[in-house]
Amino acid sequence: MQYDCRIAGELLICTITPDRALDEAVFCFSGMSPLHPVEVGTLSRALGSYTEIALPNLSADTPHKIAIKYAGGFLPANRAWMPLGPYLRVGDNVIALPATELGRHVPERGDVPDHDLLPIVPQPQNWKATGETVAVDGFVVSGDALNAVAALADRQGLAFRGAHPVAILNEDLPVDAYRLVIDNDGVTIAASSFGGQFYAGVTLLTLLREGPLPCGEIYDAPRFSWRGQHLDTARHYYQPESIRALLDVMAMLKLNRFHWHFADDEAFRIELESLPELSQKLKLRGEGQLLPAIFAGAPVQGGAYSQETVRAIIAHAKALNIEVLPEIEAPAHALGLTEVYPDTRDPDDNGLETSVQGYQRNALNPAMPKTWEVLEAIVDEIGALFPFGHLHLGCDELPENTWKGSPRARALMAEHELKTTQDLQGWTIARLASYAASKGYRPAAWEEAAQGRNGGIGNNAILFSWTGQGPGLEAARAGYDVVMTPAQNLYFDMAHTDALDDWGANWAAFVDLPDTISWDPVPDPVLSDRIIGVQGAFWSEFTTQDSQMWPMLMPRMLGLAMMAWQVDRPKPETLNILVPHYNLNDAGRFV
């Protein structure tokens, strides 16, 4: 069985050459967004980007071309826009087709250029060099922080334990700040927190990778308390070891918040004792499952995380000075949840609202008692499972006119004098945030949670500004704490370039390495107390193998780390010089 695909302007030309005659075959695949056939075949099923095309009878050893096209005027930008997980269904038989070339091609990087920078990302605030160096085999390790660094080094295959003495002093410094003195007689670390000691150790580990240690004194402290990286494990199930590897990379870059996006339209990945059917019915997508193979790389694909696995990942993160923020997603991005619990939708709702992903009716209805029964159960169990004390509630991309066709929702709006969809969304997310706060969890949400005539989510929530910085600045002026995660700079699922041979989305921008540092997280100094951090994001709509993540994240995470830690805006030439020091293999380990 042979299969290939190529981009031809606005079309994708797929060629299937079967090794035997096939009658009434159905061509099944997913894509970046909804698609439809242009020539040959008839659209027989579509759910979001998942597409089934009924084909005419196929002759053996004969190439058959099928032209398909993205809806809504979208043009295929690169290889990531080709059909994902293509297969044929012939009667009760499933025939997996060979995938087209997957993932980003990593460009060749030259040797490390000569430079006088400390080979560390992020760069320290202050470095006073003596001009001398000292060759060491490693460090005498004691205490929880340095033992955590030693364990990190072991996982990376790097040396850290050795004979060079280390003295640890308590000094009144900001959280995560440290003072580090390196000389021939030993190393002195001064800090007031576990994080400060840990990051001093990470700096030593990074310097030791490069050879003899430069002697001198470093003073270092982060600009922001929230230095985050997000991972979408709903669209693609990542193995636990891949998540742990990402946490290790974050630690090497002094990032301290992992935003775990495990629930979305397509999946709910964490097993819950109170709602076991959620993960049971939504952990897999594909043939014979509740949802078809949306964004899948095979006829059936997926998985779920047991609570034991979740606790182990949280413990791994904690040892690296990383807190884990769980996200549960409401009221939109709930297609799978509404399929599992139909009573979260008004049966009399005649609306046909459609999400940007192409899903109809993917929002929970706040007028339905089942909605609150399910959401409160999720808040209770997820909140108790994650010790950070923060809970991200979602609240993004609600389709236009959602609930307008629901008599029950319209009655609820009249009862509370709400006029628009955004008003009802604001009322809904504020009620959910109030419940989370009553359980002791600080709520967080995407920028849309500030909308609505009631003032939005309230409840001391943290808002994440993703469509750009503007909504974040407005939220900060309204009194919200804000994390900046602008897609134009820090969405690492965006393609690097406009080349057809590249890989990734492009709805926000093409995001190359210089774009990660070409912005100011706090353009208005008056808001510096309200903008508490920056965060990168990696959405997984076109990721079908864990290894595809690393060339998308790195080296762009270096820019994120610099923006999150350094007080002064990084210089592009500095970032370019340091990139060769941070190469990853297919398992996310430094080489």
d(CA 587, CA 245): 7
Q: What is the DSSP string of 155-182?
A: HHT---BSSB-EEEEE----TT-EEEEE
Q: Residue 292, preceding bond cis, omega within 30 degrees?
A: no
> b/e string for 513-537 if b means 16 or more Cβ within 10 A?
bebbbebebbeeeebeebbbbbbbb
- Type of residue at 322: I
29 in Cβ contact with 68 (< 8 Å): no
Q: Cβ neighbours of residue 562 under 8 Å, at least 6 residues apart?
A: 121, 122, 123, 517, 570, 575
CA 149, 151, 157, 162 torsion: positive or negative? positive
What is the CATH architecture of 126-220? 2-Layer Sandwich (3.30)
Residue 133 host element (H or E): strand 126-134
Residue spans in the chain of domains classed CATH 3.30.379.10: 126-220
What is the per-residue pLDDT for 454? 86
Pull the structure tokens for residue 445: 């949400």
**Catalytic residue, candidates 329, 397, 417, 448:** 397
What is the per-residue pLDDT for 30? 97
94 in Cβ contact with 52 (< 8 Å): no
State pTM to two decimals.
0.98
d(CA 194, CA 189): 11
Entry field: residues in the chain: 591
Q: Cβ neighbours of residue 405 under 8 Å, at least 6 residues apart?
A: 349, 350, 351, 352, 353
The pLDDT tens digits of the residues spanning 433-458 come to 999 999 999 999 999 999 998 889 99
What is the per-residue pLDDT for 171? 96
What is the per-residue pLDDT for 311? 98
d(CA 105, CA 410): 51
What is the per-residue pLDDT for 114? 81
DSSP letter assigned to residue 398 = P
Per-residue pLDDT for 112 more than 90?
no
Per-residue pLDDT for 110 more than 80?
no
Pull the structure tokens for residue 565: 């830690």
Q: Residue 331, preceding bond cis, omega within 30 degrees?
A: yes
24 is catalytic: no
What is the per-residue pLDDT for 39? 83
Residue spans in the chain of domains classed CATH 2.60.40.290: 2-96
Beta-bridge partner residues of 180: 189, 218
Q: Strand ranges (DSSP E) for 378-420?
A: 390-394
Q: What is the mean pLDDT of residues 210-233?
A: 97
The pLDDT tens digits of the residues spanning 341-355 come to 999 999 999 999 999
Query: Residue 433 burial (CB < 10 Å; 0-12/13-18/19+)?
Result: buried
Residue spans in the chain of domains classed CATH 3.20.20.80: 226-581
Mean pLDDT for the chain overall: 97
557 in Cβ contact with 492 (< 8 Å): yes
The pLDDT tens digits of the residues spanning 131-183 come to 999 999 999 999 999 999 999 999 999 999 999 999 999 999 999 999 999 99
The pLDDT tens digits of the residues spanning 32-77 come to 999 999 989 999 999 999 999 999 999 999 999 999 999 999 999 9
d(CA 31, CA 19): 25
Angle of helix 143-156 relative to helix 240-252, nearest 10 degrees, comes to 120
469 in Cβ contact with 475 (< 8 Å): no
Q: To which residue do tokens 């490069």 refer?
A: 210
The pLDDT tens digits of the residues spanning 523-570 come to 999 999 999 999 999 999 999 999 999 999 999 999 999 999 999 999
- Type of residue at 24: E
Q: What is the DSSP string of 61-120?
A: T--EEEEEEEGGG----SGGGSPEEEEEEETTEEEEPPPPP-SPPPPP--PPPP--S-S-
User: Would you tell me how many other CB atoms lie within 10 Å of the CB of residue 51?
Assistant: 25
The pLDDT tens digits of the residues spanning 459-505 come to 999 999 999 999 999 999 999 999 999 999 999 999 999 999 999 99
- Type of residue at 104: R
Q: Cβ neighbours of residue 556 under 8 Å, at least 6 residues apart?
A: 492, 511, 513, 516, 536
What is the per-residue pLDDT for 108? 79
CA 582, 583, 585, 586 torsion: positive or negative? positive
Domain 2-96 has CATH 2.60.40.290: yes
- Type of residue at 162: G
Per-residue pLDDT for 113 more than 80?
no
Per-residue pLDDT for 199 more than 90?
yes
Q: Is 305 helix (H, G, I), strand (E, B) or coil?
A: strand
Q: Strand ranges (DSSP E) for 171-279?
A: 178-183, 186-191, 213-220, 226-232, 257-261, 263-264, 267-268
Domain 226-581 has CATH 3.20.20.80: yes
What is the per-residue pLDDT for 107? 82
Q: What is the mean pLDDT of residues 365-370?
A: 98
